Structure 1
Amino acid sequence: MSIQEITHNFHGLAKQVIAGKGIGKEEALALLQTPDAQLLELLSAAYEIRRHHFGNKVKLNMIINAKSGMCPEDCGYCSQSIVSSAPVEKYSLLDREQILNGAQEAARRKAGTYCIVMSGRRPSKREVNEVADAVREITSQTQLKICCCMGLITQEDADLLADAGVHRFNHNLNTSEGHYDRICSTHTYEDRVDTIEHVKSAGMSPCSGVIVGMGETNDDVVDVAFELQALDVDSIPVNFLNPIDGTPLEGMRVLDPRYCLKVLAMFRFVNPTKEIRVSGGREINLRSLQPLSLYAANSIFVGDYLTTAGQEPVADWKMIEDLGFEIEECAL
């Protein structure tokens, strides 16, 4: 099927996906190459799939940067990396009270999931135990779901966190297997896949996503969408590169809002039943088109990211309300 045939049959393709018949890489690539004049039609078709599986609900997630900087890895996008000269805060793991206070703030921001994120290659046993203790207390006091992002973990670590009540564990692939060694050399794509498999074996919900805009090709974006499909992750954060000064990828500004929307639509077609989250970089890359992203995605982060500022929570709530959508709230 030609690109023209695919782009003139978005709704037929959506009905095919809803019926349980997936699309192939050729079709996914054609979605990324949709002419701008047909963007709204593409989003309308993606919304058919999103509405079928998720209605008009929007999940909110909040991050706490529980350990910042001092990371020995050389990931080119990251301001906390050893190769970054970005002026970010550097501190060891926050104490339990600070992590608990963050959970209360997440609930006040109407988030359903609280994400405890740590910099570093992998956590120490002490850090795993301290986070597990904090999670036990949070889950005894709130209805929040807890997601942890702590780098590479062993099966033993994953089992301990699952037993403590961690619902979800995030470890992003970030880019396709074929593009990975251009982004990081201190660990491999396979290391990341191993951690995701440990998460699944422990019974936690696997969360893994991408960063778009790091010099990859359209084929790379399609490849990683299908790699995540093959891993059967439950939640897919789609980040758009915020090229922070002092990182190896500073100055790489190749994205425009329309392309970002096509990426989100393609991910919805390839992973129709999964949570698609518009994540880091949405404010600076989607800009005034941010609301349109929720016709393909069903989740966002609310508040700040790890070392960069996000949109004010009230603005996110208003955006969701203006769309006629509804927040999936969590009670204290």
Structure 2
Amino acid sequence: MNLSEMVQAGLDRRSATPEQALEILRSPDEMTMPIVAAAGRLRRRFFANRVRLNYLVNLKSGLCPEDCSYCSQRLGSRADIMTYSWADPAVVDDAVEAGIAGGARRVCLVASGHGPSRRDVDRVSGLVSDLKTRHPDVEVCVCLGFVDDEKAATLHEAGADAYNHNANTSRSHYESICSTHTYQDRMDTVEVLKRNGLSPCSGVIAGMGETDEELVDVIWDLRRHGVDSVPVNFLLPFEGTPLQGQGRELTPQRCLRILSMVRFVHPDAEVRAAAGREMHLRTMQPVALEVVNSIFLGDYLTSEGAAGAKDLDMIRDAGFVPEGQTGATDRAPAEEPTEVPIRHRGIGSQLPVNA
């Protein structure tokens, strides 16, 4: 494996080849840190010492008709999660303000389901418009499932900057994970987003029984589709879902190689260490910041993440600076973080909602 050659290609905004990507995944553990160091050169070339903080707000939890095997919100799930319909706008506002006070530069508004109705789109568009009026410098990413051109255009006109619609796994593995929609359905939606001015955010879940070739295939396909942001999730094997007990191969070393592989294929894109980083990277989370330039602050949809203040300490201690704070280009010490009251799962674990 010629890391110098791969770094030079990345600096020229060229992707590692599928063969090189496979070499990274299959490298022995003792090669992990040299690979991370090489991938870090690309991360610092395009993103310096900045870390983008994303904050997730769960507008609607559970009650989903899709049967995605990894998901605690899936049809027939027996996972012990909060289920609720649309949250009260005032509760959403409180959650958004908490995330922004903690340093989030992108707020992600997420709702379970196959896709939104016209009424749902209007509801979320109102939330987006209000948020952008109060915080014009904060990016808004929406994740509502499958949308058509009209719905995507409406969200963009309301002020949404980006839309998350993960590929999750490769085309060849997709039928093993989900039967209620196809991989092509997801890729078609990514194209809808691009046509309507929404920055496409689409990533994967590693640890679902996919082969190395399948993992490389989906990461490369996302590059071909020109996604701007690639969240890398590591399977959280919820009890009560078909994939409970899987993902044992996700050692910290393996996770770092997966993140590095994604960076080499997407040298100039946002790469995010998303759900499962706490469980699978464990004490190696600060090392992952050498490769990724984006993380979630606080909790995820139906599972707890690290406390927001703990994440901020990790970023600062590793020598990085949250995007938008002093020192985000010259590596000066970060400002002292605001106390972060972020410990709810999205917004549904303790707060009232509307049906």
- Report the TM-score range of the alignment, normalised by the length of the smaller protein: over 0.9
Residue 303 in 1 paired to residue 308 in 2? Answer: no
Distance 1:149 1:21 in 2: 29
Q: For residue 24 of structure 1, what is the amino acid of its counterpart?
A: T
Superposed displacement of residue 300, structure 1: 0.2
Residue 101 in 1 paired to residue 88 in 2? Answer: no
The 8 Å contact of residues 63 and 115 in structure 1, kept in 2 or not, is answered as yes
Distance 2:183 2:54 in 1: 26
Structure 2 residue matching 1:295: 3-state secondary structure: coil
Distance 1:17 1:107 in 2: 32
Q: Which has the higher helix share?
A: 1
Q: In the alignment, which residue of structure 2 is the partner of 1:180? A: 174
Superposed displacement of residue 173, structure 1: 0.2
Name which of 238, 251, 256 aligns with 1:256: 251
Superposed displacement of residue 13, structure 1: 1.7
Q: In the alignment, which residue of structure 1 is the partner of 2:25? A: 32
Name which of 15, 20, 23 aligns with 2:8: 15
Superposed displacement of residue 181, structure 1: 0.5
Q: For residue 32 of structure 1, what is the amino acid of its counterpart?
A: L
Structure 1 residue matching 2:129: 3-state secondary structure: helix
% same residue: 44
Deviates more, 1:172-181 or 1:94-103: 94-103
Superposed displacement of residue 126, structure 1: 1.0
Structure 1 residue matching 2:131: 3-state secondary structure: helix
Superposed displacement of residue 219, structure 1: 0.4
Distance 2:236 2:196 in 1: 33
Superposed displacement of residue 329, structure 1: 3.2
Residue 194 in 1 paired to residue 193 in 2? Answer: no
Q: In the alignment, which residue of structure 2 is the partner of 1:232? A: 226
Q: For residue 296 of structure 2, what is the amino acid of its counterpart?
A: F
Distance 1:184 1:13 in 2: 35
Structure 2 residue matching 1:62: 3-state secondary structure: strand
Distance 1:190 1:100 in 2: 35
Q: For residue 156 of structure 1, what is the amino acid of its counterpart?
A: E
Superposed displacement of residue 330, structure 1: 7.8
Q: 1:126–1:311: structure 2 CA closer, same or farther, 3 Å change rule?
A: same
Name which of 255, 266, 278 aligns with 1:283: 278
Structure 1 residue matching 2:319: 3-state secondary structure: coil
Q: For residue 314 of structure 2, what is the amino acid of its counterpart?
A: M
Superposed displacement of residue 251, structure 1: 0.7
Superposed displacement of residue 102, structure 1: 1.9
Structure 2 residue matching 1:151: 3-state secondary structure: coil
TM-score (norm 1): 0.96
1:65-104 alignment runs, 5 A limit: 65-104=58-97
Superposed displacement of residue 17, structure 1: 1.8
The 8 Å contact of residues 50 and 298 in structure 1, kept in 2 or not, is answered as yes
Name the Cα RMSD after superposition. 1.4
TM-score (norm 2): 0.89
Superposed displacement of residue 93, structure 1: 1.2
Q: For residue 308 of structure 1, what is the amino acid of its counterpart?
A: S
Number of matched pairs: 325
Superposed displacement of residue 235, structure 1: 0.4
1:184-223 alignment runs, 5 A limit: 184-223=178-217
